[in-house]
Structures are given as structure tokens and as C-alpha cells.
Chains A and B, each alone.
Chain A
Amino acid sequence: MKNGRIAVPSNGQGGLNGTRAGHFGHCDVFTFVDVEDGEIKKVSILQNQEHAQGGCMVPVNLLSENRVNALIVGGIGMRPLMGFRQVGIDVYHDDQRPEIEPVVKDLIAGKLAEISNDQVCGGGGGQV
């Protein structure tokens, strides 16, 4: 990624030295990393909104309004994933490293994969 804004759902106060929240919808804050010419130029924090059952589009709209281009998650449901794709936010996946900085640097370096449809949370297990 050469230019753009990366968002990472984060625990506590967030920040580049913080840790990624396991469930993006329930995170405390979003850490924003602005990238210019492949370099980190600015880090900022956005308070997450209250989470409501079925309110998956609240964070989608929140990040879209704040001009986010890419999101890094450890897990995400199918509906918010589709929502992010439909508003033009690319969703990347890393559920192994909770530290924000190395994962962000991997994304900038083109070493992080986009999440695939079969990596989403849930799935029903064929019950319905």
C-alpha cells in the first residue's frame, strides 16, 4: 500500500504500539494509520460507536465517513465484510499477531492477504 488510511480495531487507547481487538465491532477504538509514499505519516485514534445487535453497518459507515481505505481484522462476520467491500474498503486478515505495528508494516509492504469469504466468523454449521 503506497497511499491511504489503514484502520485497525484496537484495545484500550489504541495507537501503533497497541494491540488489535479480536472482534472489530466490539473494539474500544480504531487506530488510524495514514500512509504516504509507503511511509507512515500520521497515527490517530477514533472512538468506536456503541455496538448493537444487527448494527453491523454502524462501523462500516463510521470508517467510510472517515475515509478509510483498508481495514485489518482478526475476525469479522459476513455482513460487515460485504458492507466494507461495498463501500470500497479492503479488508485484510491476521489473527496470529495482536500487535498493531508489525501487521500494519506488513500491509504497507504488500505482505498481508485480504480476507476471503471462507475466513469469516460464523457460518451456521449447516444447522439451518
Chain B
Amino acid sequence: MTHVLLVSQKKNNFSELETAFSENNVTTEWTDTAQNALSKLSEENFDLFITHEHLSDMTGRKLIENVLFKNAMMNCVVLSALDHKAFHEAYEGLGVLMQFPLVPGKEQAQNLLDHLNHIARISNRTSKPKGEPI
């Protein structure tokens, strides 16, 4: 079970995404402001959050920064209209899993789940150092 927080002023933007998630054992909660998102993320267990790039009380980028200062393990996705290069420059270093269009759908849901599984497989590979004489 994966639990996702959706953050956007318009809940309807997530309708198709939520339908696709529900078919893949992913549960969601929605909230409209960054402050509410910060409260929910500190009070409940979410696996990741998906935020619009523009919120009423701060930018999506600022929300991500605020979250990672408290919990860098929290994954995030951004709904953004920026082109690929501008998005990379705007969010470089924040470890954003992927960029979604402003109204994401089934394809984005599947891509995200595939990507999370891929990262989980990498994380589960154990690795130990090989000794080397000085």
C-alpha cells in the first residue's frame, strides 16, 4: 500500500490520477495549501507527495525545501508547465522523482509506480566494500 498526499488548489486536477492510483493499491489524500501539506506530512505517514508548482501560500519548490529540511527521505513529484530544461534548473538538487503535467493521468500514474519500483530495487541491492592495501 502506498499513501500519497496531493497538494493543489484544484482537487479536480487529480481526478484521473486518483482513479489510476486506486486501481493500483495507492491511496490518496488531498489538501490545498502548503501549510496544510506541512501539517499533514508531519502528522501522518505518507510515502510521497505530489504538489502543484504554484500554491496559494508558497511555491511548490519552497514547500519541497521545507519538507526536506524535516525529512529528506520524503519523495515528491511536481505538477509543472515548465519545459524540461527550465524544470531541471528550477528543481535541481531537490531530488524530485519526476515532473507531471498540470493535469496528470493514467500514464503518469503508471510511470511513477514503475519508477518507485525501480528505485526500490536499487535500494535493496546490498553492497559491501572491497578491502584494498594502502
Of B3-11, B26-34, B36-44, B83-91, the stretch lying at the interface with chain A is B83-91
Question: Is A120 interfacial (CB-CB < 8 Å)?
Answer: yes
Distance of A40 from chain B, by nearest CB (Å): 6
**In the complex the two chains form, what is the Cα distance from A43 to B80 in whole Å?**
45
The count of chain B contact residues (Cβ–Cβ below 8 Å) is: 40
| Interface SS, A side | mixed
Please state if B90 and A127 are interface contacts (CB–CB under 8 Å): yes
Give CA–CA (A16, B134) in the complex, Å: 7
Instruction: Identify which of B61, B72, B98, B128 contacts A82 (C-beta below 8 A).
Output: B72
A54-88 with Cβ < 8 A to chain B = 54-58, 60-62, 65-66, 76-80, 82-83, 85-86
Count, A-B residue pairs, CB within 8 A: 118
| A86 with B75, Cβ < 8 A, contacts A40-B134, A44-B130, A122-B94 known | no
Given the complex, which residues of B lie within 8 Å of A57, measured CB to CB? 72-73, 95, 123
Task: Tell me if A96 counts as interface (CB < 8 A to partner B).
Answer: no
- Complex contact B132–A83 (CB within 8 A): no
On chain B, the residues within 8 Å of A78 by CB distance are 65, 68, 93-94
Is B71 within 8 A of A122, CB to CB?
no
A residues 77-128 near B (Cβ < 8 Å) are: 77-80, 82-83, 85-86, 120-125, 127-128
State how many residues of chain A have any CB contact under 8 Å with chain B: 42
Q: Given A42-B131, A54-B75, A122-B94, are A79 and B61 also a contact pair (CB < 8 Å)?
A: no
Interface flag for B122 (CB, 8 Å)? yes
User: Is B17 located at the chain interface by the 8 A CB criterion?
Assistant: no
Q: A residues engaging B (CB < 8 A)? A: 15-16, 30, 32, 40, 42-47, 49-50, 52-58, 60-62, 65-66, 76-80, 82-83, 85-86, 120-125, 127-128
Q: Name 28 A/B residue pairs within 8 A (Cβ), A-sorted.
A: A15-B132, A44-B129, A44-B132, A49-B125, A49-B127, A50-B122, A52-B118, A53-B98, A53-B115, A54-B119, A56-B95, A57-B73, A58-B123, A60-B72, A77-B92, A77-B95, A78-B68, A82-B69, A83-B73, A86-B72, A122-B89, A123-B93, A124-B92, A127-B86, A128-B59, A128-B60, A128-B82, A128-B90
- In order of increasing CB-CB distance, the 8 nearest A-B pairs are A77-B93, A122-B93, A122-B92, A54-B97, A79-B95, A56-B95, A83-B72, A82-B72
Known A78-B68, A122-B91; further 6 A-B contacts with Cβ < 8 A: A54-B115, A66-B127, A77-B92, A79-B72, A79-B94, A82-B68
